[in-house]
Amino acid sequence: MDETTETPRKRPGRGLKIALGLSLALNLLVLGAVGGAVLNGGPDGRLHDRMDLARTLGLGPVGAALDGADRDALMDRARQDRDDLRARREGLLADTLAFAEAVRSDPFDRSAAAALLEDQRARVNGLQQWGHEALLDRLDRMPWEARAAFADRLTSALSRHQHR
């Protein structure tokens, strides 16, 4: 009877383990860099994406009904006014943090908290006004067919919400 002898498999060498570890580290580094860029916007501090812009400017479903080219046009305009918009957003953040501190205070000062909420409201209104002006400027330049398609997308989106 023939007996076949199995040769024991060699375990991977230390060099292979090091190479795999380095490869994994490099892949994680690239993944982290890409993920960070997506989550934090570009190096110029721009908004995260077109929908972030629509939310920031109070456009809501109106912003969502714009097609990609129109949202891109709003992003281009926001890039032109980047410093102003960034200052407004930072001011809103500062107002909100100040409001949180006012809520923490003991005793609670209702009038101080109300004044801070009024500051927030003014900043939000300013951002929304900027967004509405940019939207109206874009709609003003659209041909009728594009405006009608936009209105159709908007009413369709709103009708889905009405049935909920």
As a dihedral over the C-alpha atoms of residue 115, residue 120, residue 126, residue 129, rounded to 10 degrees, the angle is -110
> Of 133, 134, 111, 114, which Cα lies nearest the Cα of 122?
114
Note the Cα 143 to chain centre separation in Å: 29
> Please, are residues 123 and 91 in contact by the beta-carbon 8 Å criterion?
yes
| CB atoms inside a 10 Å sphere around CB 48 | 14
| pLDDT tens digits for range 95-126 | 999 999 999 999 999 999 999 999 999 999 99
pLDDT of residue 89: 87
pTM of the model: 0.60
Instruction: Give residue 65's pLDDT.
Output: 85
Question: What is the average per-residue pLDDT within 135-150?
Answer: 93
Which pLDDT belongs to residue 5? 65
**Comparison of pLDDT for 62 and 144, the residue scoring more:** 144
Tell me what pLDDT residue 28 has. Answer: 45
> What percentage of the chain reaches a pLDDT higher than 90?
35
| 45-88 pLDDT, tens digit each | 445 555 666 677 777 888 888 888 888 888 888 888 888 888 88
- Joined tokens for residue 129: 């006004």
Where do the structural domains in the chain lie, given as residue ranges?
A: 13-43, 46-162
Q: CB of 135 within 8 A of CB of 74? A: yes
Furthest C-alpha separation in the chain? 99
Per CATH, which fold does 46-162 belong to?
A: Four Helix Bundle (Hemerythrin (Met), subunit A) (1.20.120)
Residue 156 DSSP SS3? helix
